């Protein structure tokens, strides 16, 4: 029997990016906030210090910072005719676990989504006509977000200044800025910090794409180019290009994460309480099922508690937000046969890939000297930046030379035809290790009625609850798009001086055994109509107004870019509505 605890004002389920950010905003208003984190507490000092933090086997290969999938796995299948099986080893995507969540082991690649992304369906119909989308794929179910870029701009701005993002503006209030990305959405002001120094591989990429007439710009980075104090009064230091960013925590206070830019301002507040090693089982609803009364969770000793709360924020990894809604019976689960229901619908991912460019031996790339966001890149083929009318697909990808590391276990490029082991393999690795450049593609994932999340009928977690089941494959639209961009990447690789250029691009079937992206999105999407969305434009549940589901689970489909900064902006946007509207008059912020 669960022990009933003293009621609090707000509970967050998960203490990562959205959980810590939301807690800080609400704790500042004086509310009593409790953060429930299923993982362990951890801090830059002492937990992230070297040499232990640079253990490639432990963190990159054995995924020490990731969700414990012995206790809570995700099952996967490519389509609804297959039987889903548990993913026992994270490879394709890496959900974080522990204080700070995936925002600890992220790379710091810090983009804003574009204007058209937020009005995607409207935009595509206006530019290409009403029948174009159906021609690209009758299964595609793209939607508008219910919020516009202009509404989010101040929140993007605020979030970038919280992180100290380093970059060069390409468009300030409509004025194109030299050196920046001319395709970016207009921003109110320059980035808080100048871009990172350009790497050698970035300089070669720049030279290549300039020959081809494209528009290179420095990748915006939340690994810092100089020391910075953020508006919360917290200090970041300058990145030292150690080459251990993604899959690792930063030992140097140089990467924006909850530990560096949020938590120190939150944890010392007397009205905030962090409880780690606490697994939330469900959100409890009252008899009307229209109001949440709090959450039930199990602590590290196995004791069960009921924590009553006025406001419940689901702030877990996107996949876990969706699972929490399903476990709690909030919203109607999506039924792919009829197309009705909403929870689990429009699960999307990210299309990735890219070319491997083998250079002359005189080109010393030194990939080990790198940061998580060291790229030089172009947006000429991102989103809807190019004319799709004759192409038969929607969407696009950015192209960039973004080599985040040259770590010994993970990075040993060899050209096609090289044996997979033995002396010849070793010779090829020695020849190519320091003379190979990766050019990446990274882009949109189009929602399809065939792709969705639901509860697995067979597999249970360590607490006896159904695990999440993922049904996903890339729509043909996305394959056509990615293969189109792959051709451009090959041209770029040759222009860079590549002796051998190995073509990439996204392929079917989607596999969970190869790393692609941790930008899992959708499943609890936002919108203007409760029939096609789980949450309204403020990420408030249509069915239970005192529950908000924050984060990328709200994306109706995924845009071109790495999504963390857009999550941050959406979170500030939702918190602004909670503070200024909801708390004054609790109830639905949008009438259905």
Show which residues are catalytic. 519
- The reply on whether position 268 binds another protein by CB under 8 A is no
Indicate which single residue of 5, 85, 203, 583 sits in contact with another protein (rule: CB under 8 A).
Answer: 203
Is there binding between residue 1 and another protein (CB under 8 A)? no
Rounded Cα gap, residues 111 and 166, in angstroms: 11
570 vs 581: CA distance, rounded Å: 16
Out of 131, 338, 362, 389, name the contact with another protein by CB under 8 A. Answer: 362
The one-character DSSP state at 445 is B
Interface pick for another protein out of 177, 271, 276, 366 (rule CB under 8 A): 366
CB closer to another protein out of 47 and 332: 47
Residue listed under structure tokens 């203490």:
15
What DSSP element (H or E) covers 431? helix 423-432
The piece of 34-42, 346-354, 363-371, 405-413 that touches another protein (CB under 8 A) is: 363-371
What is the per-residue binding string for another protein in 468-507, x denoting contact by CB under 8 A?
----------------------------------------
Q: Residues 4-43 vs another protein: string with x where CB under 8 A? A: ---------------------------------------x
Q: Nearest distance from residue 426's CB to another protein, in Å? A: 24
Tell me which residues in 66-105 interact with another protein (CB under 8 A): none
CB of 369 to another protein, least distance (A): 6
Which residue stretches of 120-277 are H helix? Answer: 120-128, 132-136, 149-163, 200-211, 263-266
Q: Min. distance of Cβ 52 from another protein in angstroms?
A: 10
Site string for another protein, 225-264 (x = CB under 8 A): -xx-------x-xxxxx---------xxx----------x
Q: According to CB under 8 A, which one of 137, 146, 374, 395 is a site residue for another protein?
A: 374
What is the secondary structure of 334-379 as a DSSP string?
PBTTTTB--BTBT-B--EEEEEEEEPPTT----TTSB-SS--EEE-
Minimum Å distance from CB 108 to another protein?
15
* Contacting residues for 420 by C-beta, under 8 A, at least 6 apart: none
CB 396 within 8 A of CB 385: yes
* DSSP helix/strand/coil, 105: helix
φ, ψ of residue 205 in degrees (nearest 5): -65, -45
Strand partners, 500: 358
Angstrom CA distances, 229 to 256, 301, 334, 337, 386, stand at 11, 39, 45, 52, 38
Q: How many residues bind another protein (CB under 8 A)?
A: 32
Q: Which of 9, 68, 125, 198 binds another protein (CB under 8 A)?
A: 198
Angstrom distance (rounded) from CA 291 to CA 284: 9
How far apart CA 199 and CA 413 sit, in angstroms, is 19
Span near another protein by CB under 8 A; candidates 67-75, 290-298, 358-366, 422-430: 358-366
Would you say 50 or 126 has its CB closer to another protein? 50
Measured from the Cβ of residue 182, the count of other Cβ atoms closer than 10 Å reads 15
Q: Verify binding: residue 423, another protein, rule CB under 8 A.
A: no
Look up residue 84 and give its two tokens.
């889903």
Nearest approach, Cβ of 365 to another protein (angstroms)?
Answer: 8
426 binds another protein (CB under 8 A): no
Least CB distance from residue 93 to another protein, whole Å? 29
- Least distance to another protein from the beta carbon of 50, Å? 5
Token pair, residue 16, equals 């990562």
Q: What is the rounded CA–CA span in Å between residue 259 and residue 532?
A: 36
Closer Cβ to another protein, 148 or 364, answer by number = 364
Binding segment toward another protein, per CB under 8 A, in 26-34, 195-203, 285-293, 311-319? 195-203
Please count the other Cβ atoms lying within 10 Å of the Cβ belonging to residue 346: 30
The answer to whether residue 364 forms part of the interface with another protein (CB under 8 A) is yes
Which span sits near another protein by CB under 8 A: 4-12, 47-55, 76-84, 377-385? 47-55
For another protein, the closer of residues 121 and 499 by Cβ is 499
What is the per-residue burial (b if ≥16 Cβ within 10 Å, else e) of 533-560? bbbbbbbbbbbbbbbbbbbbbbbbbbbb
Task: In angstroms, give the least distance from the CB of 500 to another protein.
Answer: 17
One residue of 1, 6, 45, 420 binding another protein per CB under 8 A: 45
Give the residue among 579, 581, 26, 546 at the shortest CA–CA distance from 293.
546
* Segment lying near another protein (by CB under 8 A), choices 46-54, 61-69, 167-175, 398-406: 46-54
- How far the first Cα of the chain sits from its last, in Å, is 37
Q: Where along the sequence are the contacts to another protein (CB under 8 A)?
A: 43-46, 49-51, 197-200, 203, 226-227, 235, 237-241, 251-253, 264, 360, 362-364, 366, 369-370, 374
């Amino acid at each position: 029997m669960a022990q009933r605890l003293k009621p609090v004002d707000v509970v967050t389920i998960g203490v990562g990016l959205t959980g810590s950010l939301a807690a800080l905003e609400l704790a500042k208003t004086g509310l009593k906030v409790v953060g429930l984190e299923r993982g362990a507490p951890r801090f830059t000092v002492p937990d992230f210090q070297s040499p232990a933090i640079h253990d490639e086997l432990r963190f990159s290969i054995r995924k020490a910072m990731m969700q414990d999938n012995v206790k809570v796995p995700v099952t996967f299948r490519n389509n609804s005719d297959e039987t889903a099986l548990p993913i026992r080893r994270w490879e394709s995507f890496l959900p974080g676990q522990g204080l700070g969540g995936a925002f600890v082991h992220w790379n710091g690649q810090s983009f804003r989504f574009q204007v058209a992304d937020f009005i995607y369906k409207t935009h595509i119909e206006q530019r290409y006509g009403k029948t174009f989308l159906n021609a690209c794929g009758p299964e595609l179910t793209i939607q508008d977000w219910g919020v516009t870029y202009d509404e989010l701009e101040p929140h993007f701005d605020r979030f970038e200044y919280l992180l100290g993002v380093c970059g060069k503006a390409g468009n300030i209030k409509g004025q194109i800025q030299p050196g920046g990305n001319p395709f970016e959405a207009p921003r109110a002001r320059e980035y808080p910090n100048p871009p990172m120094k350009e790497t050698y591989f970035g300089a070669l990429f720049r030279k290549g794409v300039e020959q081809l007439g494209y528009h290179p710009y420095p990748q915006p980075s939340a690994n810092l180019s100089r020391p910075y104090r953020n508006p919360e009064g917290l200090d970041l230091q300058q990145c030292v290009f150690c080459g251990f960013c993604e899959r690792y925590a930063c030992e140097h206070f140089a990467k924006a994460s909850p530990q560096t830019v949020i938590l120190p301002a939150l944890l010392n507040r007397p009205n905030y309480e962090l409880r780690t090693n606490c697994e939330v089982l469900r959100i409890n609803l009252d008899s009307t099922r229209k109001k949440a009364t709090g959450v039930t969770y199990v602590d590290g000793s196995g004791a069960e508690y009921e924590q009553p709360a006025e406001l419940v924020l689901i702030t877990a990894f996107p996949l876990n937000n969706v699972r929490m809604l399903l476990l709690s019976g909030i919203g109607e689960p999506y039924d792919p046969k009829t197309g009705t229901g909403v929870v689990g619908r429009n699960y999307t991912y990210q299309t990735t890939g890219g070319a491997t460019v083998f250079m002359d031996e005189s080109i010393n790339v030194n990939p080990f000297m790198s940061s998580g966001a060291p790229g030089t890149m172009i947006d000429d083929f991102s989103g809807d930046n190019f004319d799709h009318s004759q192409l038969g697909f929607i969407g696009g990808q950015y192209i960039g030379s973004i080599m985040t590391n040259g770590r010994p276990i993970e990075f040993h490029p060899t050209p096609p035809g090289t044996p997979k082991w033995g002396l010849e393999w070793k010779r090829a690795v020695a020849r190519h290790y320091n003379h190979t450049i990766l050019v990446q593609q990274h882009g949109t994932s189009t929602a399809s009625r065939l792709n969705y999340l639901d509860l697995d009928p067979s597999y249970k977690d360590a607490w006896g609850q159904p695990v999440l089941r993922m049904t996903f494959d890339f729509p043909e639209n996305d394959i056509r798009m990615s293969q189109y961009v792959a051709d451009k990447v090959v041209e770029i690789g040759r222009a860079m001086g590549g002796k051998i250029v190995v073509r990439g691009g996204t392929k079917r079937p989607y596999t969970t055994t190869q790393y692609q992206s941790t930008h899992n999105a959708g499943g609890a999407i936002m919108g203007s109509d409760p029939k096609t969305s789980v949450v309204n434009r403020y990420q408030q549940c249509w069915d239970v107004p005192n529950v908000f589901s924050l984060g990328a689970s709200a994306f109706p489909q995924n845009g071109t870019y790495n999504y963390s900064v857009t999550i941050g902006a959406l979170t500030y946007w939702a918190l602004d509505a909670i503070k200024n509207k909801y708390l004054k008059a609790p109830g639905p912020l949008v009438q259905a």
